[in-house]
Structure 1
């Protein structure tokens, strides 16, 4: 039986990606909470305060797991971290859907709802994939 070859990008490539992810999350968090702040975005309503906690939690979780990945990134840990971040992001998407803190005008509202729905179903699919990878890695580790 042929053994499946599992390929991952090089450690240097993965680390570069993690550094960019940390920087993106840190800059986004700073931009939303400090300068210029979410209040400067013309299409966000005051209801944005109701979703800010979950949006911030998603960015903080992404920042934290990518810092951990810089130190060590075995497949199982990467799957667990990605599952966690996607789960927090899913809660944020649900909350944004419920509150819908946008003032776009009629032609853009359905498109924004579609984008949120795509994010919702994409997050669920990603969580299923990461859960399968996590379980497969665990069973592979037990066989060794």
Structure 2
């Protein structure tokens, strides 16, 4: 039996740049909605403890904006992987802080939303950690010269 491996090609440069720009724009909008007037205070299930997680949440979104805007100008695979490691690492810190503080009050809603929120946070943490491990592998592969950055292996 023969095994063939088909490498997935990266989208073209224009598509990647458009995606990076949209991702940065979404994060800018979220930063505005979270921090503008009335901001997070308008969300009925967020408590005053939200201020205890806001710094890391803002930092996570700002890192995503910065990495995506940098990718518009320069996006070899190693650079994308490095940016993902950094921004996802900050996101993990924000998720851990949200888990610790848990700035949510679902008492006005159906029973069970606190548990659902904890499960979603747990999956987000697990997925983020898996993503960091995958990006480290990509970064190491690129550093070893195994990946030219265009989807083809040398």
* TM-score, structure 1 normalization: 0.93
Partners of 1:138 and 1:129 lie apart in 2 by 14
4+ runs of 1 displaced by more than 6 Å? none
Match of 2:124 in 1: 119
Number of corresponding residues: 143
The structure in which a higher percent of residues are helix is: 1
Q: Could you tell me how far 1:3 is from its partner in structure 2?
A: 8.8
Structure 1, unaligned runs of 5 or more: none
Q: Could you tell me how far 1:107 is from its partner in structure 2?
A: 1.5
Q: What secondary structure, in the 3-state scheme, does the structure 1 residue paired with 2:106 have?
A: coil
1:57 aligns with 2:59: yes
Shift in alpha-carbon separation, 1:97–1:8, aligned structure 2, 3 A: same
* TM-score, structure 2 normalization: 0.87
Partners of 1:75 and 1:37 lie apart in 2 by 36
1:102-131 C-alpha deviation (Å, 9 max, x unpaired): 001341010000000001100100000000
Structure 2, unaligned runs of 5 or more: 148-153
Partners of 1:13 and 1:39 lie apart in 2 by 36
**Superposition pairs of residues 1-144 of structure 1, within 5 angstroms:** 5=7, 7-105=9-107, 106-140=111-145
